[in-house]
Chain A
């Protein structure tokens, strides 16, 4: 196994060098990001447009939990440096985003576990 994997690792640093030399194009990067953003918006509209009224509250709570994805950004900011302003800002950001994520998913789960059909419900 190792003799397949090692060359890959050795090659990857070459790949890094080459793309450095070519120069990563920030405009192209931005355009790709915008493209992806646009598509994601359409996906969001399509997926959510068909929700029964019953599920509107859990959905609001669940999508709120997903918006806690900011946590990923907070981790990056908090972790990049040692105990200076950005790190502390990042720390608070991590706390806030984690509250959003953990609280949001748990509260949504509490709401959803109660949805039972007539035959499986306990009477």
Chain B
């Protein structure tokens, strides 16, 4: 190895170290921001030092590509709203996957597909396969979240076997590629299969499960990057890709645990969507009267409470009510009320989504309590204000074995002295299930757009 090549390898090691340290720092709120910046620095270092590779001749294309990509990515990142974060992550992930299969294909064309070792041929095939699935899968996830594609699971007969056959077919094609070196058509076919597979795999998954899908696809894009690393023999790619691959996988598992469903159930179970009231599971006999409350009544209830817990859900994000909810909390705290926030792991479209929204509204993060931490306290809580959350506070998950959400860990808000549900109407939530909480004797419905309702509450509280 030349001195230059040795130096490049050493700098790659530094970049890897920075990635690991940065990722580690992202696990604590106090150091998370610097951790992200460290990772960005690592990326910059890795990119700059790669440009010293004496094999690079064509700087014009590279600079043009980086400028174009940087502008698009930067503008998109600056303009996106916090509520659309999950969609953005899906989109960014998708283009990352595209990059991986393009690298795989590009390497094949560059070398002409001859005189390649077995491992290179296999990893070219894998980076194309995984990159392709990541690309179209992510676009599907984006579509489902934005409502461009139906949020209902789309199933057709023999769907899973079909996917299995396609997957096996692509493995066979990769294997076949070991014999015939020189014809790119084989790899274009693999690309085609993988693009179709990406669509087919995400199609039967309900919109509510998109966070899990995005996390899994995030993991895939890491593995795809790693495979690209095997292709061009680049350890920085191999290691960083593996880091992201395993991080994404663990996050996915954590999310499934929070929903008390297995990963296979999420991927193949065709869960959720507008199956209608039928999926409520044996509710014919209960009394379905609801009690309504006005802003003034609610102001009195909360102002004289000792403990109030606020439970945010996707409705908070949609109504952009995070600032209004903080105003309510501020006034209540001024009156000596203990105000805390109970965050369910899958509230909102993505884990941690609620936390990001509330942080945007300057809610200090030490007031945000995880489900496990706040559940024991509901019995001592006077009022729970539920803003746009639905399934995560449905007691059926705990009590009704016939319910589709039975077994999912929830926030036990019904144990509090009073619960207030802010909703636009009585329409069912994301999983299409009727919420028995609404009919409980200590529950009150506060109808209206969440932001307006909370602002009315703020005015009413000022009068109390």
Chain A residues at the B interface, C-beta cutoff of 8 Å: 8-9, 12-13, 15-16, 19, 26, 29-30, 33, 36-37, 40-45, 47-118, 121-123
User: Would A115 and B231 be within 8 Å (CB), given that A15-B1, A44-B242, A70-B103 are in contact?
Assistant: no
B73 within 8 A of A: yes
B243 CB to closest chain A CB (Å) equals 4
- The 8 Å CB contact of A44, one of B30, B245, B359, is B245
Cβ–Cβ contact B110 & A86, under 8 A: yes
B316 within 8 A of A: no
Interface size for B (C-beta < 8 A) is 120
B235 within 8 A of A: yes
- The 8 Å CB contact of B110, one of A58, A59, A77, is A77
Chain B residues at the A interface, C-beta cutoff of 8 Å: 1-4, 6, 19-20, 23-24, 26-30, 32-33, 35-37, 39-40, 43, 46-47, 50-51, 53, 55-59, 61-62, 64-66, 68-70, 72-74, 76-78, 80, 82, 85-86, 88-89, 92-93, 95-96, 98-100, 102-103, 105-107, 109-110, 117, 119, 214-215, 218, 221-222, 224-226, 228-251, 254-255, 330, 343, 345, 350-353, 355-356, 359-360, 362, 364-368, 370
Cβ–Cβ contact B119 & A30, under 8 A: yes
In the bound complex, CA of A97 to CA of B134 (Å): 13
In the bound complex, CA of A82 to CA of B59 (Å): 10
Q: Which residues of A contact B240 (CB under 8 A)?
A: 40, 66-67, 69
Cβ–Cβ contact B47 & A111, under 8 A: no
Secondary structure of the A contact surface, majority rule? helix
In the bound complex, CA of A56 to CA of B30 (Å): 14
User: Would A77 and B2 be within 8 Å (CB), given that A47-B20, A102-B69 are in contact?
Assistant: no
Q: Given A16-B1, A65-B92, 9 more contacts at CB 8 Å?
A: A37-B226, A51-B26, A52-B29, A54-B355, A57-B351, A62-B39, A63-B247, A73-B234, A77-B103
User: Would A40 and B243 be within 8 Å (CB), given that A68-B96, A114-B360, A121-B364 are in contact?
Assistant: yes
In the bound complex, CA of A46 to CA of B32 (Å): 17
Q: Which residues of A contact B56 (CB under 8 A)?
A: 75-76, 79-80
Q: Which residues of A contact B23 (CB under 8 A)?
A: 44, 47-48, 62-63, 66
Q: Which residues of B contact A57 (CB under 8 A)?
A: 85-86, 89, 350-353, 355-356
A105 CB to closest chain B CB (Å) equals 4
